[in-house]
Amino acid sequence: MRITPRGIVNSANADDLRHIRSTFKRENYLRIPAFIEPRLLAVILKYLQRAHFEQSEYGEVGRELALWNSPVVGALHLLMNDPALLEFVRRISGCGPVGSFTGRLYRMIARPGMEFGWHSDLIENDLRVGVAMTINLGVRPYRGGMLQMRRMDDKAITEIPNAEPGDAIIFRLAHDLRHRVTPVEGKVPKTAFTGWFMAVPKYADLKREWLAGSNDVNGLEASRLPTTKTPAPEEAVSIPPTIVALPRRGETIIASIRTGRFYGLNGTASRMWELMATGRSLHRSALVMAREYSVDVAVAERDLIALAANLAARQLITLGKAEKIARRR
């Protein structure tokens, strides 16, 4: 399983899932090496280099440095709410329906008291389904900062290494299970995106929150767009590495790691985005749209050009000669 700028890619077959489910039941965790696709990881790490982390305390549990309101957090929240991941977690853990994932981005450094003591992450009337996940977003492997687990009635401790950038751990939460994070050692900090799978909110509620205050990009009047040249039919589209997108149920939500803004595409515009993202020229994409939607090619091409201009004005795509974009791919 891997997280990419276009959502989750899961190549596990039925036999793999049975083995993973059995392992998770026995060990209470699953480690996923290279969970974040390398090019996406590189962009995330770039935007975290100058991020400002503020100290946060969680009562007796411990202390950390937290990063609030980061565009990286928004993009990760979008991708982590891919239905493919939510369903995978439900199937391997045996928990109830998973509505969403919610998390935070934190950093730990070698400082007295900066650690997490034994805790369960579960509280009364909690909406967490009993599964958590942590993703390593450090630039280099760190020492210490180890996730440890044990049962309340057992002194045996399971240590789960996760020091390689981009690696992830899915682990079980239960009232008879405790986990903690040990102090970081040395000069390399631990940076991670960690959180919980939730029964609610559902995707529809998250979508409303993401798109609140953002302009819909489906049908904006050309006069309201920033100045941009009209794309030519022979041009093709390239999606910048700072753009992530999640298709779901015939629509697509786009997020920018650079700006932190979200954008929504309806069913028809979502299909246009999908075709343009393949590197086809706008004209070739129009031929496919005309066939699929039973419209004149000229109409499909006009609508594709209008959407491409709209997206380019928001720096969600770049335009260029089809041959050059094909070579870059």
Predicted confidence (pLDDT) at residue 218 exceeds the cutoff of 70: no
Q: Which of the 8 DSSP states describes residue 223?
A: G
CB 210 within 8 A of CB 262: yes
Query: Could you give the CA distance from residue 140 to residue 138 in angstroms, rounded to a whole number?
Result: 6
H-run or E-run covering 256: strand 251-256
Overall average pLDDT of the 176-189 stretch: 96
- The candidate with the shortest Cα–Cα distance to 74, out of 240, 209, 270, 221, is 209
Convert the pLDDT of each residue in 262-317 to its tens digit.
999 998 999 999 999 999 999 999 999 999 999 999 999 999 999 999 999 999 99
- Give the per-residue pLDDT at 126: 80
Q: What's the rounded Cα separation, in Å, for the pair 289 and 271?
A: 8
Phi and psi based region of residue 22 (left: phi greater than 0; alpha: psi -120 to 50; beta: remaining): alpha
Segment 167-184 shows an average pLDDT of 96
- Here the tokens at position 74 are 């928004």
* Nearest to 31, CA basis, from 104, 128, 133, 178: 133
CA torsion, ordered 106, 111, 113, 117, to nearest 10 deg: 50
**pTM as predicted:** 0.92
φ, ψ for residue 179, nearest 5 deg: -140, 160
pLDDT tens figures, 26-41: 999 999 999 999 999 9
Whether 225 has a pLDDT exceeding 70, the answer reads: no
> What's the rounded mean pLDDT across residues 215-228?
50
For residue 149, what are the β-bridge partners? 158, 179
Task: Identify whether the C-beta of residue 322 lies closer than 8 Å to the C-beta of residue 280.
Answer: yes
Percent of the chain with pLDDT over 90: 82
Where is pLDDT greater, at 175 or 69?
175
The predicted structure's pLDDT at residue 3: 97
Q: What is the mean pLDDT of residues 249-259?
A: 93
User: Taking a C-beta distance cutoff of 8 angstroms, is the pair 200, 128 a contact?
Assistant: no
Q: Which residues pair with 152 in a beta bridge?
A: none
Could you tell me if 198 and 100 are in contact, meaning their C-beta atoms sit under 8 angstroms apart? yes
Contact predicate 210/78, CB 8 Å: yes
- Return the SS3 of 283: helix
pLDDT at 69: 83
Mind listing the pLDDT tens digit for each residue in 84-106? 999 999 999 999 999 999 999 99
Average pLDDT of 81-85?
95
pLDDT of residue 1: 92
Confidence of residue 221 (pLDDT cuts 50, 70, 90): very low
